[in-house]
Structure 1
Amino acid sequence: MQRKKRFIAGAKCPNCNELDTLMLYKENDVEKVECVECGHKQSQVDDEVAKAAPQPSQVIGVFKP
């Protein structure tokens, strides 16, 4: 199965500093970013995901259509 990849407009690679070379894709439900110029890869680890998730006290309501 082929992964759907998309470029991140205006993003700069932290490794080679090239502009507009980062692509975003999901692999096993984990978001990953890869530079097509130098091959630098990043992924979001579980601890970062937990920090980014809103705390229950911050949520006013959840919309379920």
Structure 2
Amino acid sequence: MNNEKITYQKYPSLQYESYAWDTPTQAQKDSIKNLVEILKAKYNLSDNDVYKHDDISPQKVRGKAKGLHEKE
């Protein structure tokens, strides 16, 4: 268990014809932002402790978390 960092992943629909991920809705972006802020406050974390799944995943498919949480 990792007690120092958090990571998250949104499970979008993959469009197999174009091999592109669905664009997250504004509601999804807002929800992720709120969740990240709650977790940061609860566990005394900074933006440097938060990673998109794409940032740490060894898989080759990228872009699932694009636009969900941008570090300032």
The TM-score normalised by the length of structure 2 is 0.27
The TM-score normalised by the length of structure 1 is 0.29
Q: Which of structures 1 and 2 has the larger relative contact order (alpha carbons within 8 angstroms, sep 6+)?
A: 2
Question: More helix by proportion, 1 or 2?
Answer: 2
Question: More strand by proportion, 1 or 2?
Answer: 1
